[in-house]
Structure 1
Amino acid sequence: MSETPYGFDAVKFRAARTAAGASVAGIARAVGVSERAVSFYLAGTRTPRPGILPGLAAAVGTAPADLCTVEHETLAHLRIYTGRTRAEMASVLGMGEETYRHLETTGERGRLAHARYDDHEDRWIAWQEWAAPLFAATAERLDVAEEHTREQHRVERERHWQRLRLANPEHAARIEELGRAGRALRER
């Protein structure tokens, strides 16, 4: 299961439980976890595994995303809201696990994440149209999550380079020099 932080919010879970009138025992039975685990989730002392999130949401009559607080939804969030692991999502999307991992961490789609031909409809179907239902999202929400994933990757990559520059300036300078040389060759 992915260790991606997904923003589970105990306050929202408590509010949803109260609104639904659900008991701790009832939630535990519905989800297949102990009452103690549910109590920990309600107290905010533990975060449920992503695979449990859809069951918790169903037990209190809400969507998984409604139990989370995130600034910007990414592809990892959409996957976690479905309760799937990376391997499961890769399989559902019909791509290799490493290909999916690259998509989820960078927001860059490879050739397997573009239009697909639908024999039944005798037409090509765009990525957003065929993939969005598998993420339990709209095409627009999938587009926004992809953009946030790309932005998050860009920011993380820049932080990495900053740490490298501070830790080993000579090494960083050499890498930047090689990058400039590579770009110059591509521009020819």
Structure 2
Amino acid sequence: MYFPGWRSFWWRYIAGPAAVVVFVALIALMIPALSAHDGHGEHGRWTATNVLCSHNRCNEVGTFLSTDGADRRTRISMFGSPDLAIGQAIPAVDTGGDEVYPPGGGDAWWHDLIGVIAAGLASAVWLWACPIRALRQRRLKHADAVVFSQQLYHPLFHPRVFVAAAGEFHRGRPDTRRPPGPCGPHGRRGG
């Protein structure tokens, strides 16, 4: 089934808003990776405890223990899924995200940065093409209406000025009860 305008509908209401959501989500994911890259976070050791396999890949899940023993997180994965046997431990940094990172953050922040740039560009194009353009068009239409109304009610173009200039002024307002006839504004001969 074909319906005209499906591409603009898809872009305006599905792909564009999804790009904005992905942009925000990737920024939230990039913050812990960038923090680990900058050396912030709790340093410690990550020990592989389980290997979870899905259809096409396996991921090690383990326990993170900080060097001072205050921070202990279980069932957490390490970015990059290092090939470790169960029970092996390696140095890691915990920044509070969903994963722990190798010292220096590894290359996690690069992956997230590429996604943030791509989603940010798509979001910017969508914001410019849909909501901002619609608001600008609405403002331009409204601005034309304001200019037109200002022209209609401008003091020099007001109907009262024209009527007063023609000499048909009655008690401070135009006499609209009956049009002036050949005998004057009040309908009597001789004025």
Check whether TM > 0.5: no
Structure whose residues are more often helix by fraction: 1
Structure whose residues are more often strand by fraction: 2
Task: Give the number of the structure whose alpha-carbon radius of gyration is greater.
Answer: 2
TM-score band by shorter chain is under 0.3
